[in-house]
Amino acid sequence: MTAPRFVPPLLALACGPGLVAIVARTKARMAGRVGPPLAQPYRDLVKLFRKGAVYGATTTWLFRAGPIVGFATAAVAAALVPFGGLAAPLAFPGDLLLLAYVLALGRFFAVLAALDTGSSFEGMGASREASLAVFTEPALVLALVALARLGGTLSLSAMLAGVGPAAWAAAAPALALLVAALLVVFLAENGRLPVDDPTTHLELTMIHEVMVLDHGGPDLALVGWGAAVRLWTFGALLVGLAVPVRTGDPWVDAAAALGGMVALGVLTGLVESSMARLRLRHVPQLLLGAAVLSVLALFLVLR
Amino acid sequence: MNAPLDAILVGILLTGFLLLGSSRLVSCIRTVALQGMLLGFLTLAAAERDAVGRAAVLTVASTAVKGFVFPWLLVRVLRGAQVRREIEPLVGYGASLLVGLGVLGLSLWLGTRLPRPDPPLSTLLVPVALFTMLVGLVLIVTRRKALTQVLGYLVMENGIYAFGAGLVQEQPILVELGILLDVLVAVFVMGIAIFHINRQFDHIDTDRMAALRDWTR
Amino acid sequence: MPTLLLALGVLLAGAAGTLALAAVPRWGARVGVGGAIAGCALGLVAAVRVLLGTPAAPLHLAWSVPYGAFALALDPLSAFFLVPIFALSGLAALYGAEYLGGRGDVRATVSWLFFDVLVASMAAVVVARNAVLFLVAWEVMALASFFLVTLDDEDERVRRAGWTYLVATHLGSAFVLVLLLLLGGGGSLDFDRVAPAAGPGLLVALGLVGFGAKAGLVPLHVWLPEAHPAAPSHVSAVMSGVMIKTGVYALLRTLTLVGPVPGWTGPLLVCLGAGSGVLGAVFALAQRDVKRMLAYSSVENVGIVVLGLGLGLVGRAAGAPGLAALGVAGALLHVLNHALFKGLLFLGAGAVVHATGTRDMERLGGLYRRMPTVGAATLVGAASLAALPPLGGFASELLLALGAAEAAASLAPAAAVPALVALGALAVIGALGAAGVARTFGVVFLGTPRTPAAGHAHEPGLAMRLPLVLLAAACAGLGLAAPWLLAALAPVVTPLAGLDAAPALAPAAATLRAVAVVEAVLLALVAGAAGARRALLARRTVAVAPVWGCGWAAPTARMQYGATSFAEPLLRTFRTLLVVRRRIAAPGGPFPAAASFGTEAPDPYRLRVWDPAFRGVRRGLARLRWLQHGEVQLYVLYIAATLVVLLAWTVGRP
């Protein structure tokens, strides 16, 4: 395995918080404020890593394991997804299914860590997170399988490498539907509006933030970093699909992909600024709609 | 593969799914309007070289009627009846989306079985037309507000129109305008009827109207 | 074969010994347990030897029963199913020795007679090659488990559960009887001389009903959530882990005997499996009783197994070797994995019940700190059920998902559409199952104890802890060893998939090896991150403080999220599939004294399908009540009249 193969996960680790910063900055600008500097998430991570830790009296080792497993699974997920023209280091046929299972592992431990505190707030977050997963997992898997049919392969790296201008010219409606479906999954899995508001201060309206209320110090840093890496990973999937620049020169492709990530960050900020949160009972319908779009794309390719 | 035609057909499919999953009546009306307009463009895209002029006239007429007149009428009725949302339908919204997927599968399968014109304009045309008709039927059967059932009737009519636009190469403009007039009258009459029903009973829930059958005994 | 016969002999000897020593309860129980463990160990050796390549000679002895014969054979399929039967039963016997040990009464001792007979009959079902022998073993299995289920029959609910179980199993057996008679076709009833007297479609349908009732396919599953909680925990583990798999085995054997099946069988099995899986998972989320939740989870996993079988049949019909082999291989591996993790979970639940005296999740909590070994082992079982890497449940579900994904991505619509349905169903079932097991584990073991009984729980003894640890190790081992297991499965898959499985499974084995690399990277990252955090915190202050309570002055343990509250969003989304009854005593007045809120979730199929059906049958049969008037002379007249008619008919025939 050559050195360039490690670029996608390293980029995710390094630039994930940057993507979070772009989204925050766009939202601030839309609200008429200046917004935090782009380096703010990095400063927050450093600050948190410098702190000590406080653990709840009721917790066991599961509470301490939750952030670690969440971060590790996010890093492994980043190692499964290609970026620009660069293939992922852990690519093999069937890795699109492993992506879903690895993320499920991180989510399982996060839910258990939340239940470990014995607090009703974390329990509520855990309950909502587990319920949402029932709808985001099929939506993600179906979208990836539709893409697999288009690309004729079950490996993410090979699939996305094949989505160039020729693929878009041949199957534009199906690819457009898949981009829409994956955008909905991107927003849902990363806790963005209209599914979840990352900046709310009311515990009763939270999903992801309330699950980690009792983490502090390095644990909270790992949680935040893991979330940023997941945001980047899903974004890389989406950008690989939506930005069909495949010139063969790795620098050009990577630059185009980076531009796409910045555009995705701005787009997410715009979407978050312009939509209100959906009622929780309507979120399954939204995700079911995303799954329907994926199946529709598959049907279009199937005939 | 005719790319603009395919894109329009996929758009019609999406409007069908939007209708199945949406509960706000105003957005349902707007979706049906959009579907009507897409059908107008379908006529244009499906027309033969020398019939473009006629097709253009039809497009303008159907866009005007289906895209603007019908929605305006129906929104007026809606405001008069003071309803905003569909109440819980017989088949829930999520389940309706799944039913829609099943109907799409069925239409695709039937589309391969039915005899096709040669050469086919697009392999999607017959399935999409079938799908639209069946979606209209599903709306009529599973929704409770009379207004949604009128929308279902309109969607069925759109489906039949889509069939015609694709399969019949030469369309006498008179026939099509006649059908449009038919539908216009029907919607007009239904709109007035709904308005009066609402005035009389203060609601337009059709399953409460089933109680009326006792009056005939 | 001789080893297997020896194993069966030891088991039956143990049963006989228990009966003989019933007057001395302690020794009777020891003989029973010892016979079970020794017999299972011998049987395991016999089965593994066949799986590793040494073929076993079949046995065929004459039997005085008409059409019957002692025909036994140990082919790879039978050997594969013998492995979980003997492994889990042996460990359950060890566990049960301590679980029932405290009672010391005659009834507990005699239960070992039935336990040994149950294990022997399950093994006999799996190796029988004659319809009469099969039916005898099937019936003995049902009766032995019935007596085990009704061990605590002073409880009215246990008696009713036992009765439900008996009725359900015999209804299934009726269909099995018809199926076996049709397979024999009037000639021999040996399995190697099959001459079907009916079309394969009808035979498969009969098999689905008869064996599906034993396996627990929806809507024939209604006995599972009654019988499995009522039985003692080691018996529940055996019933849920291996007894329902004999139904799956019998279905597989039917498919090999019937010949080429019609094309609709594959999609039908996919739909039945998907429906069972989703419904089982949703029903499991609605339960407060731990063992009832695990029983519904068994329904869900049997659904996954049948889904895999359906995929295999779809692949076979479409001429796709990859799908055919992967579907069957995934289903078989899931049978093994489910036996292990469900057995583990039931034994863990038994430890909890043993320590706290209650099965109600809303009365438990915080048990991990009091029972760390049980908690850790149960966590491994729960993670395996949730199909998480690197455990066994993940490996089998990944195989099924791989087959379905490949089919959806490359085959014609006739095979791609069922594969797509299977893939969507697997994703939903997996997420629902993970939510269910996270809920159960979290509410029971994590947080703070909700009642004093939970607060005083204690770790059980070695005999109960050792099986838990061994099963947990097996779950992890199966996950890590999956690529090599797949190669060993090839001879079992080949007759079922109708083609040579080894080359068809090769790409999947390569994927599993790559997955193992990813798992290694993941474990390394976890270890690295944990080490880095420890190094960081070594020089900083680490404190322990109360959990954030949003300013509540006196939080109580009852304020935690409980089982019902955790499942509420999902139950609301799936409310059309459930029947949830709420009992609300609302607080009234300005100073309410008491208020209560309770839910119960009866089985919708039992409520809406089976109970009305049985009531209708009872009403119909009540018309025949006039036959039973109590006068002995008329009964004797009935018997005499029947005998005369039979005599006239037999003698009077030309």
Least confident of C102-106, C248-252, C440-444: C102-106
> Where are the strands (E) in C176-294, listed by range?
none
Subunit contact C576:B105, Cβ cutoff 8 A: no
Q: What is the DSSP string of chain B?
A: --HHHHHHHHHHHHHHHHHHH--BHHHHHHHHHHHHHHHHHHHHHHS-GGGHHHHHHHHHHHHHIIIIIHHHHHHHHHHHHT--B----SS-HHHHHHHHHHHHHHHHHHHHHS---SS-S-TTHHHHHHHHHHHHHHHHHH--BHHHHHHHHHHHHHHHHHHHHHH-SS--HHHHHHHHHHHHHHHHHHHHHHHHHHHHHS--BHHHHGGGGGGG-
- How far is the C-alpha of B205 from the C-alpha of B145, rounded, in Å? 5
Which of the four pLDDT bands, split at 50, 70 and 90, describes residue B179? confident
Select the residue of B3, B98, B101 nearest A172 (Cβ to Cβ). Answer: B3
CA distances from A49 to A221, A225, C43, C614 (A): 6, 11, 56, 66
Distances (CA, A) of C117 to B165, C140, C146, C478: 73, 8, 12, 29
Q: Is pLDDT larger for residue B215 or for residue B4? A: B4
Beta-carbon separation of A289 and B97 below 8 A: yes
**Cross-strand pairs, C69:** C62
- Name the strand (E) or helix (H) holding C583: strand C581-585
Tell me the CB-side half-sphere exposure of residue B61, using CA atoms within 13 A: 17
Band of residue C324 on the pLDDT scale cut at 50, 70, 90: very high
Q: At what angle do helices C392-410 and C321-356 cross, to 10 degrees?
A: 150
Residue B2: pLDDT over 70: no
Cis peptide before C390 (omega within 30 of 0): yes
Quote the minimal CA–CA distance from B125 to chain A in Å. Answer: 12
Tokens of C4: 């297997």
Residue among B93, B54, B71, B43 nearest B151 (CA): B71
Q: Find the domain containing A127 and state its range.
A: 7-302
Measured N-to-C along each axis, helices C106-127 and C244-258 cross at an angle, to the nearest 10 degrees, of 20
- Measured between beta carbons, the chain C residues lying within 8 angstroms of A93 are 507, 510-511
**Which of A74-78, B53-57, C4-8 has the least mean pLDDT?**
B53-57
Amino acid at C385: L
Give the pTM.
0.91
Q: Report the chain B residue with the minimal C-alpha distance to residue A168.
A: B3
Mention every residue, 6+ apart, whose C-beta is less than 8 A from residue C592: none
| Rg, Å, chain A Cα set | 19
Residue of C nearest to A105 (CA): C388
Is 0.90 exceeded by the ipTM? yes
Q: Give me the residues paired with residue C584 across strands.
A: C597
What is the bridge-based pairing of β-strands C59-62 and C69-72? antiparallel
Q: Which residues of A are less than 8 Å from B101 in CB distance?
A: 292, 295
CA distance to partner chain B, nearest, from residue A289 (Å): 7
Interface touch C573/B92, C-beta < 8 Å: no
Is the pLDDT at B171 greater than 80? The verdict is: no
- Flag if A285 and B93 touch (Cβ within 8 Å): yes
Written as six digits, the tokens of B163 are 């069939």
pLDDT of residue C177: 93
Which residue of C lies nearest to A221 if distances are taken between CA atoms? C533
Q: Find the largest Cα–Cα distance for chain A.
A: 60
Q: Which chains touch A (3 or more CB pairs under 8 A)?
A: B, C
Task: Please provide residue C195's backbone torsions phi and psi, each rounded to the nearest 5 degrees.
Answer: -135, 85
Averaged over B188-200, what is the pLDDT? 75
Q: Domain locations in chain B?
A: 3-216
pLDDT at B119 over 70: no
Average pLDDT value over all residues in chain A? 91
- Exposure string for C115-148, b = 16+ CB within 10 A, e = fewer: bbbbbbbbbbbbbbbbbbbbbbbbbbbbbbbbbb
CA torsion through residues B6, B11, B14, B19, sign: negative
* Chain B adjacent subunits, 3+ CB pairs under 8 A: A, C
Chain-chain contact of A57 with C545 (C-beta, under 8 angstroms): yes
Residues of A in contact with C516 (CB under 8 A): none
Identify the residue among B1, B2, B12, B14 best suited for mutation to test binding to A, counting A beta carbons within 10 A and taking the highest: B14
In this complex, which of A54, A116, A130 lies closest to C447 when CB atoms are compared? A116
Dihedral in degrees, nearest 10, Cα atoms A298, A300, A302, A303: 160
A138 at interface of C, judged by CB pairs closer than 8 A:
yes
Of A119, A145, A295, the CB nearest to C549: A119
Residues C345-370 have a mean pLDDT of 93
Do the domain assignments include residue A1?
no
Is it the case that residue B87 has pLDDT exceeding 80? no
Give the DSSP H/E element, type plus range, for residue C542.
strand C542-545
* DSSP codes joined into one string, C136-156: HHHHHHHHHHHHHHGGGTTSH
| Domain residue ranges in chain C | 607-652
Indicate the DSSP class of residue A171.
Answer: S
User: pLDDT digit string (tens) for A8-64?
Assistant: 999 999 999 999 999 999 999 999 999 999 999 999 999 999 999 999 888 999 999
Percentage of chain C with pLDDT > 90?
60
Residue type, position A248, single letter: G
Phi, psi of C599 (to 5 degrees): -130, 150
pLDDT interval class at B175 (50, 70, 90): low
Chain C residues touching B95 at Cβ < 8 A: 576
Shortest Cα distance, chain A CAs vs residue B92, angstroms: 10
CA distance C569 to C573: 6
Beta bridge partners of C60: C71
Whether pLDDT at C87 is above 80 = yes
Interface with A, mutate which of C371, C542, C547 (most A CBs under 10 A): C547
Distance from C-alpha of C300 to C-alpha of C200, rounded to nearest angstrom: 27
- CA of C576: which chain B residue's CA is closest? B92
* Chain A residues lying within 8 Å of B127, measured CB to CB: 303
- Cβ-based neighbour number of residue C358 at 10 Å: 16
Q: What are B130-169's pLDDT values in tens digits?
A: 999 999 999 988 888 878 888 888 898 888 888 877 666 5
Nearest residue in B to A293, CA atom: B14
- Is there a contact between B94 and C417 if contact means CB atoms under 8 Å apart? no
Cα dihedral value C275, C280, C286, C290, nearest 10:
180
User: Does residue B98 or residue B202 have the better pLDDT?
Assistant: B98
For B39-69, write each residue's pLDDT tens digit: 888 888 777 666 777 778 777 877 888 888 8
8 A C-beta contact, residue C583 and residue C288: no
- Inter-chain touch B108–A303, beta carbons under 8 Å: yes
Summarize the confidence of residues A228-244 as an average pLDDT: 94
With beta carbons less than 8 A apart as the criterion, state whether A77 and A144 touch: no
Q: What residues pair up with C360 in beta bridges, in sequence order? A: C289
With an 8 Å Cβ cutoff, are C417 and B105 in contact?
yes
C312 has pLDDT over 70: yes
Q: What angle do CA A289, A292, A293 make, to 5 degrees?
A: 90
Contact call for C521 and A76, based on CB within 8 A = yes
Give how many domains chain A has, as a whole number: 1
| Residue A250 located in a structural domain | yes
CB-based contact A149 C408, cutoff 8 Å: yes
